C-alpha cells in the first residue's frame, strides 16, 4: 500500500507521538505491538507519512498513558491528519499548541526567525522571559496562576533542546532595533538581556544574529513576525506566524514557504552583519 502523503498535521502528529514514545522509553517495535501493527507503520507514522484510525490512535495513547487535554488534542489532531490536504494554511486551535511548536523546533535542521519589537523566545534571558510573561498578566492568563513558572521553565527547556542538539542546528535571527531599545521590567532586565545576547554571539558554534535598524527600507516583513523551519529535505519546510490571541498559523504549501523564505533572505541581507550587530549591542549596553 502506498504511503499517505505528508501534510502538516501528519507531521505534527508524528512528531508528537515520537516525543510521547521517547518520554515513555519504549522502542518502536513495542509501540507497534501494542496496537497490533508493524514497526514500519510506526516509523511511517512518526515521520509524518502515515495516519492511524481513531481506535488505533486511542489504543496507542492508552499505551503511552496520555490523558486529559493532551489526549483530546492528539485525538483531534489525528482526525485532522486523516482528512486535510496539503496547501491550505493550518491554524492550530487545539490545546497545548505550544508543545507542537516546540516539537518543530526540536526537529528542524535550520530555524530562521524575524520578530519585530521583542527579542525572540530562543534568545531570551530568564529575567526577560519573566518580564514578558508578566506583561500578559490579567489578559492572557491569571497573574496569580502558579503555571507562570511552568511557562518560564518550558521556554528555558526549549532553548536547552535547540542549543544543545547533538547535531548543531543552523540558527539565524534578525532582531529589530526597537526590540533592543524596548523596556521590559526594570532597567537591569534589559542590560541582562543584552549581555545574554553577547554571550550567544561569542558562542562557537552558535546562532547567527543580525540587527535591522529602524530606518531600514524597504522591509518586506515590516510589522510581521516570521519563523521558518527547514528539515534538510526530510520533510517540507514550514512557515509560522502567531496571531494576537496566540493561535498558531502554519504554512506548508511550497509556493507560500518559498515566498516567506525570499522575504526572510531580504531582511537578512538588509540587516547589519554579525560583527556589526555585536558592536551595536555593546554600544547600547554602555548607554543603559
CB 7 within 8 A of CB 39: no
> Would you say residue 275 lies in a domain?
yes
- State how far the alpha carbon of 233 is from the alpha carbons of 18, 109, 208, 283, in Å: 19, 10, 22, 40
Name the average pLDDT for the chain.
89
Question: Does one domain contain both 32 and 151?
Answer: no
CA distance 257 to 253: 6
DSSP state of 122: G
Task: Tell me the average pLDDT across 217-228.
Answer: 92
pLDDT tens per residue across span 168-207? 999 999 999 999 998 887 889 999 999 999 999 987 678 9
> Would you say residue 2 lies in a domain?
no
Q: Which of 53-57, 103-107, 138-142, 187-191 has the lowest mean pLDDT?
A: 138-142
Task: Tell me the average pLDDT across 68-92.
Answer: 82
**Residue 279: pLDDT band by 50, 70, 90 thresholds?**
very high
pTM for this model (two decimals): 0.84
Task: Tell me the average pLDDT across 213-241.
Answer: 91
Helices (H), ranges, 108-146: 126-134
Planar angle of CA 43, 73, 87, nearest 5 degrees: 70
CB 141 within 8 A of CB 215: no
Residue 1 has pLDDT above 60, yes or no: no
CA distance 233 to 285: 40
Instruction: Find the CATH number of the domain harbouring 238.
Output: 3.30.870
**Residue 2: pLDDT band by 50, 70, 90 thresholds?**
very low
Instruction: Find the CATH number of the domain harbouring 36.
Output: 1.10.260.40
Question: Does one domain contain both 69 and 182?
Answer: no
Residue 246 has pLDDT above 60, yes or no: no
Residue 33 has pLDDT above 80, yes or no: yes
Three cell numbers at 45?
Answer: 507514522
Amino acid at each position: 500500500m502506498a504511503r499517505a502523503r505528508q501534510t502538516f498535521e501528519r507531521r505534527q502528529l508524528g512528531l508528537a507521538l515520537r516525543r510521547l514514545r521517547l518520554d515513555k522509553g519504549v522502542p518502536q517495535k513495542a509501540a507497534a505491538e501494542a496496537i497490533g501493527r508493524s514497526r514500519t507503520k510506526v516509523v511511517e507514522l512518526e515521520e509524518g507519512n502515515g495516519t492511524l484510525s481513531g481506535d488505533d490512535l486511542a489504543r496507542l495513547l492508552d499505551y503511552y498513558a496520555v490523558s486529559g487535554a493532551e489526549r483530546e488534542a492528539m485525538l483531534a489532531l489525528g482526525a485532522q491528519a486523516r482528512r486535510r490536504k496539503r496547501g491550505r494554511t493550518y491554524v492550530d486551535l487545539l490545546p497545548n499548541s505550544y508543545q507542537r511548536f516546540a516539537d518543530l523546533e526540536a526537529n528542524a535542521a535550520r530555524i530562521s526567525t524575524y520578530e519585530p519589537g521583542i527579542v525572540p523566545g530562543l534568545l531570551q534571558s530568564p529575567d526577560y522571559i519573566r518580564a514578558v510573561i508578566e506583561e500578559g498578566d490579567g489578559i492572557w492568563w491569571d497573574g496569580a496562576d502558579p503555571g507562570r513558572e511552568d511557562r518560564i521553565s518550558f521556554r528555558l527547556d526549549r532553548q536547552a533542546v535547540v542549543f544543545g542538539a547533538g547535531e548543531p542546528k543552523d540558527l539565524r535571527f534578525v532582531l529589530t532595533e526597537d526590540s533592543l531599545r524596548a523596556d521590559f521590567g526594570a532597567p537591569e532586565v534589559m542590560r541582562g538581556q543584552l549581555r545574554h545576547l553577547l554571550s550567544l554571539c561569542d558562542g562557537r558554534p552558535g546562532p547567527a544574529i543580525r540587527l535591522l535598524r529602524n530606518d531600514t527600507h524597504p522591509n518586506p516583513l515590516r510589522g510581521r513576525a516570521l519563523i521558518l523551519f527547514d528539515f534538510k529535505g526530510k520533510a517540507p519546510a514550514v512557515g509560522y506566524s502567531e496571531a494576537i490571541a496566540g493561535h498558531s498559523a502554519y504554512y506548508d504549501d511550497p509556493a507560500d514557504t518559498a515566498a516567506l523564505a525570499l522575504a526572510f533572505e531580504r531582511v537578512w541581507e538588509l540587516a547589519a552583519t554579525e560583527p556589526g550587530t555585536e558592536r551595536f549591542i555593546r554600544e547600547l549596553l554602555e548607554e543603559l
